Structure 1
Amino acid sequence: MAALGETCNLNHAAEGLGISQPAVSKLLKELEEGVGVSLFERHARGVTPTVYGETLIRYSVDLLITMDNAFDEVNAIRQGLSGHVRIGTVLTPCADLIPETIDRIRASHPDLEVTIRTDSSEDLLSALRDGALDIVIARQQQAYTHLNFHYEPMYRKPLFHQPQYPKPVYPERPASDSLFFADAVYPDPVYPEPMFPEPVLVCARHAHPLITAGKRLTLADLLTKEWVLPPSGSVMRAEFEGMFRRNGMCLPNHIITAENLLIVTNLLEKNSMLTLLPEAVMGHYNKYGMMGQVPVEARLQRELGHSLEPYGLIHKGENILSPASRAVLELLRKAKNYNHQPLIQPV
């Protein structure tokens, strides 16, 4: 089933298995008779799995992975922990969770080989389903709930235990005016809360005029700017578009779509473009003077930072993971900037 699922061709599957094509046909017929349904549709160029066939292919691949893991575990016991762990992650954990975990892996399991892939939650879950990844750090997606992946949400710890609010600054007014009705120049600051696991910020190059001016931008101001944004379907792109649509406005006309962060940072460095980044990622670039936060009205910042579905550790089950993958999973759970339980229950 795994070979047919990969090749969709009886001859190619037979070659890969080292048996004859009639033998493959016979095995397939016996399987279909055993389960009582058609597993593949035959056509001139090969075969296509039915919905029943796709189910058996998925379980067949998992069985092969489990067998490989069994041999890996025997070797690990004999030789000490080693192997290859494939991790997929959304963007924000690349700022802290992934580097911290890699440091711990190097200290405790120096023989482990680790591959890291960054992508959208949907693509990462697809790779996990297909056996291309062992553990992913992503958000749950409705399309994959029927696969019963094990999901452990991760909540960012609050950055401020007791927020410090700045004193209001009032504009100059005639002496006859009463300060009682004066408006503060700066709106109340917005502080991230534990249930806001990934605040999104408007960002630009560090010396961008909109940053140095210090003026808080309105939504109408943002409408006229040039943007470089992640592809449609990503959380940040959805937050961006939703911010305009909720306020009855069209989207900006000047948007470049780019997912590679090197391209994004280069475009920002050489142009007056704006982008959206998770707070943790922007903080990393800001530390090196490459990027800064563009101030926006407090109301807009609240819209960008409203409660998001937390990302978490997702895998097929610890019994399926290899010893090396289970060890990495434990190290991911120990991340210092995260809790596995929300500190404040959602209202």
Structure 2
Amino acid sequence: MKHEAVRSGVPASGAAGLLDRIRLRHVTCFVAVAQERNLGRAADRLGLTQPAVTKTLNELESVAAARLLDRGRHGAQLTAAGEQFLRHALGVTEAMAAAATALAGAGEPTTATVRLGALPTVAGVLLPGAVARLHERHPGVGVQVRTGSNTVLLEALRAGELDLVLGRMAEPATMRGVSFELLYAESLALVVRPGHPLTPGGGPVSLPAVLAYPVVVATAGTVPRHHTEVLLQRHGLHLPAGCVETLEVSVARAIVRHTDAVWFTAERAPQVDLDDGLLVRLDVPAPGTAEPVGVFRRSVDEPSVVIDALLATLRTLAGE
């Protein structure tokens, strides 16, 4: 680990002094609280009492002469100094975990696990093919996939709980400590079942006609939902009452395949069903709704053969 003083007014010459006073228990405790974002859960994870966790954090912040975590009724949130310290602290705990595994294994071969995060509307686009190709080259590598919102996944990435996240370009304030690589851009699409009353002519369909049917949309606060509302507003329309709101692709596709509902979705999410003829895309232009999709990773992560191979596969599949 490359040791640096956190941005707390501590000069670089004071880094050696900090190194002498910071103990592994300080680092382990800080990482647990940063990842759990709750002192009680961190205490359970560490097998300690909550007062013991609080005392350890207070010792660390005293040594660093900086506030690393804001602790309140709604949990523990990293400060700017805390985010910077976490990027290096993760390296310490991960190295210790790897060393312990190596000792416990007594020379037995170890297997890597790649921890992936993905938006529900993105997970089924590239990940299945990427994981299949990864296993062709590295058959012993495990893969863990977690879905969720962009904000939640990026928090998990910064906290070291994920190695990569497939998601949409985020606001600059949420990009601290992570990098983004564009894979593709996609627009909004309106999708229905074959034989839907809106499909006989195969020509353009008006939005007022669409809203005469039940609607399935993404949940509030997401990019597809924002684009849906903007598209309707351009035509003087609003989402009708009784919409089904979900980020779960499996739920949306099941509803649309078996009813007359219309699904407002990111265009690649239902691609397999469109290719198989199980769903049909309506001819409804959606200009101005293109959104970049790509892969996030922590800026300070060390190179990894497995991660680099997975990234290369994602780039290839995105190009195809």
* TM-score when normalising by structure 1: 0.68
Q: 1:62 aligned to 2:44? A: no
Q: How much does 1:295 deviate?
A: 2.4
The answer for unaligned runs of 5 or more in structure 2 is 1-29
Corresponding residue of 1:8? 39
Q: 1:98 aligned to 2:127? A: yes
Corresponding residue of 1:271? 259
Partner of 1:330, secondary structure, is helix
Match for 1:260 among 227, 231, 248?
248
Matched positions, count: 286
Using the TM superposition, name which of 278-287 and 266-275 deviates more: 278-287
Q: How much does 1:18 deviate?
A: 7.2
The answer for unaligned runs of 5 or more in structure 1 is 156-196, 340-347
Post-superposition CA distance 1:179-220 (Å, at most 9, x none): xxxxxxxxxxxxxxxxxx213221111121211243422222
Partner of 1:311, secondary structure, is strand
User: Contact between 1:2 and 1:60, CA under 8 Å: does it hold in 2?
Assistant: no
* TM-score when normalising by structure 2: 0.73
Structure 1 distance, partners of 2:227, 2:76, is 39
Post-superposition CA distance 1:250-290 (Å, at most 9, x none): 33233111222222122123321100233333331023232
Structure 1: 4+ residue segments shifted above 6 A: 17-24, 40-43, 72-75, 78-81
Q: 1:150 aligned to 2:179? A: yes
Post-superposition CA distance 1:62-104 (Å, at most 9, x none): 23454158649989xx877831101122355445422221221
Structure 2 distance, partners of 1:267, 1:20, is 46
- Specify the code of the residue in structure 1 equivalent to 2:91: L
Corresponding residue of 1:338? 319
User: How large is the RMSD of aligned CA atoms in angstroms?
Assistant: 3.8
Q: 1:200 aligned to 2:188? A: yes
User: Contact between 2:215 and 2:263, CA under 8 Å: does it hold in 1?
Assistant: yes
Match for 1:122 among 130, 151, 159?
151
Structure showing greater relative contact order (alpha-carbon pairs closer than 8 Å, 6 or more residues apart):
1
Structure 2 distance, partners of 1:65, 1:325, is 19
Structure 1 distance, partners of 2:210, 2:303, is 46
Post-superposition CA distance 1:90-140 (Å, at most 9, x none): 355445422221221121000000122333322321221232211011122
Correspondences of 1:256-335 after superposition (within 5 Å): 256-296=244-284, 301-303=285-287, 306=288, 308-317=290-299, 319-320=301-302, 322-333=304-315, 335=316
Corresponding residue of 1:193? none
Structure 1 distance, partners of 2:51, 2:207, is 64
Post-superposition CA distance 1:146-171 (Å, at most 9, x none): 5231211123xxxxxxxxxxxxxxxx
Q: 1:109 aligned to 2:138? A: yes
Partner of 1:313, secondary structure, is strand
Corresponding residue of 1:241? 229
Structure of higher CA gyration radius: 1
Match for 1:51 among 75, 79, 99?
79
Corresponding residue of 1:191? none
